[in-house]
Amino acid sequence: MSESHTNDEEAPRIREMTIDDLPEVFHIGEELFTAEYSQSLYRTWDEYEITTLYNSDSELCIVAEQERRILGFALGTTVKKQHSPWKYGYLVWLGVRREIQKLQVGERLFRELKRRFKEQGVRMIIIDTSANNKPAIRFFEKHGFGNMQEHVYMTLNLSRRQKKKTVKKP
Ligand SMILES: CC(C)(COP(=O)(O)OP(=O)(O)OC[C@H]1O[C@@H](n2cnc3c(N)ncnc32)[C@H](O)[C@@H]1OP(=O)(O)O)[C@@H](O)C(=O)NCCC(=O)NCCS
């Protein structure tokens, strides 16, 4: 009998996220976007992130699915800046389950989101991530992103007593 090497696994399918996907997407995000990932409070993964984007831009919220299991997701939105004729596509969250990263799921998601952005008249895509997220930076550079700009975050702790500065009279 000759051995055949057929692969019964379906290829990942990219489709729009539905309301039933929200819990699974949320839990995948919880594993990826931990407190260590989001050191600044500016970007934290919580249930509002998904529901807000799903409510405002459901066609820009997509998932990769294989055998009824979600492998990853991309959540985006569009932005119009004042005084600019351009429409921007903001890829807010892109995540692939840790155990199947580097198998082109991220690429498939990104390509589909890019197609959807173009369809909506987007001229430029924006992403942001922390400066030490080398895998993501490499991923985005591979897909043509450039013009990297650094951003500074500062904090002021209001619970600490501030020392009063006294001005000496001359
Ligand atoms: C970034 C991310 C979405 C990429 O998805 P993926 O399915 O692993 O990526 P793909 O298989 O399509 O692409 C692989 C490419 O991504 C980059 N990459 C992915 N993982 C990497 C790693 N661990 N180290 C270095 N580069 C990596 C490389 O450019 C790689 O291509 P190369 O090996 O030819 O250089 C995924 O790593 C992820 O979910 N990371 C955690 C969440 C995150 O940081 N999201 C981005 C900001 S919202």
What pLDDT, in 10s, does the model give residues 74-127? Answer: 999 999 988 888 999 999 999 999 999 999 999 999 999 999 999 999 999 999
For the domain that residue 18 is a member of, what is the CATH number?
3.40.630.30
User: Is residue 164 in a domain?
Assistant: no
Asked whether residue 27 carries a pLDDT value surpassing 50, the answer given is yes
Structure confidence at residue 126 (pLDDT): 96
**Nearest residue CA, atom 18 of ligand 1?**
135
- Kindly report the pTM of this predicted structure: 0.89
Number of domains in the chain: 1
Give the whole-angstrom CA distance, residue 84 versus residue 96.
Answer: 33
Domain membership of residue 155 (yes or no) is no
What average pLDDT score do residues 8-32 get? Answer: 93
Residues in the chain: 170
Q: Is residue 137 part of a domain?
A: yes
Residue 104 falls within a domain, yes or no?
Answer: yes
Tell me the pLDDT tens digit for each residue of 127-150.
999 888 999 999 999 999 999 998
Higher per-residue confidence, 162 vs 72: 72
**Of the residues 44, 73, 109, 139, which should be mutated to test ligand 1's pocket, given the most ligand atoms within 8 Å of the CB?**
139
Domain that holds residue 37: 13-142
Residue 97 CA to residue 119 CA, distance in Å, equals 28
Each residue's pLDDT tens digit, 48-73: 999 999 999 999 999 999 999 999 99
Cα of 98 vs centre of ligand 1, distance in Å, is 10
